[in-house]
Amino acid sequence: MSATDHRVEVHPRLLDAVGEEIASGRLAPGTVVTLEGLVAAHGVSRSAAREAVRVLESMGMIASRRRVGLTVRPREEWHVFDPLLIRWRLESGDRSEQLVSLSELRRGFEPVAAALAAERADPEQCRALAVAASDMVTTGRRQDLEAYLAADQAFHRTLLEASGNEMMRALVPLVDAVLEGRTHHALMPSDPNPEAIELHDRVASAVRRGDPVAADAAMRAIIDETAAALRDSAGGERSRRLPTRGVSRNR
């Protein structure tokens, strides 16, 4: 293996390790690290460490200053839409809160995208929505969550593309991250909610009929259902993290 091949192999591992440490708070804002420290801690070359640092700098997570080192920047300065950062935050302890935040954001654009799709979708996109909704029914009944996830992602990807709005189309990775994170972090029921599946079919039907009002309403209902389920999961995670109180001595 050449030196270049080795650097390409080690860079994602190092980037994920440092990115997750920052996203989880183990490396808190204001913490200063050095390139030499990263090399020693992770057993990588300086070139690989520099490459990882450049990516983290571009994401607003680290600031590099001469004679100071690498300083972890405040969360407010992070590029929160970056798919890598979303994935790292989902790996940390506040994954439910992150998913709730993303779901609330979806409420601001996916119903609009559905309404636009009802006005702009071409026949092929209408067919793709119908197929994805049908696949969700089939895979949901089989409780095949990976196949269900693929169909769900295909549905929302097609919808955003069918909106005809390039800014909404650029948000596909964000929606993919919400759906993938919910499935891969055990926040998705093993038996998908039939009501949620039915709502996807309603969106597909409204788009096919050219009914933007119905498409908007059905998509809003989908996101509300997801957000409610995630809020319940977030509450459960917070409860599990609270210290267990002993039995009162007065009893």
CATH of the domain at 207: 1.20.120.530
- 88 in a domain, yes or no? no
Tell whether 170 is covered by a domain: yes
Do 65 and 97 lie in one domain? The reply is no
How far is 129 from 135, CA to CA, in rounded Å? 10
Beta bridge partners of 90: none
pTM of the predicted structure, to 2 decimals: 0.80
| Number of domains within the chain | 2
Closest CA to 236 of 195, 178, 185: 185
What's the average model confidence in pLDDT over 37-49? 92
Per-residue pLDDT, 10: 54
**Residue 195 belongs to domain spanning:** 93-241
Helix (H) or strand (E) holding 102: helix 95-120
Between these two residues, 61 and 227, which has the higher pLDDT value? 61
Asked whether residue 67 falls in the same domain as residue 101, the answer is no
Q: Domain for residue 247, yes or no?
A: no
Contact (CB, 8 A) for 102 and 174: yes
User: Can you give the pLDDT at residue 235?
Assistant: 57
Confidence of residue 102 (pLDDT cuts 50, 70, 90): confident
Q: Are residues 8 and 109 in the same domain?
A: no
3-class secondary structure per residue, 15-78: HHHHHHHHHHCCCCCCCEECHHHHHHHHCCCHHHHHHHHHHHHHCCCEEEECCCEEEECCHHHC
Given a contact cutoff of 8 angstroms between Cβ atoms, the answer to whether 65 and 33 are in contact is: no
- Per-residue confidence band for 246, with pLDDT thresholds at 50, 70 and 90: very low
Domain check: are 215 and 104 in the same one? Answer: yes
pLDDT score recorded for residue 90:
87
Q: Pick the more confident residue, 3 or 134.
A: 134
Shared domain check, 59 and 18: yes
The CA distance from 187 to 181, in Å, is 8
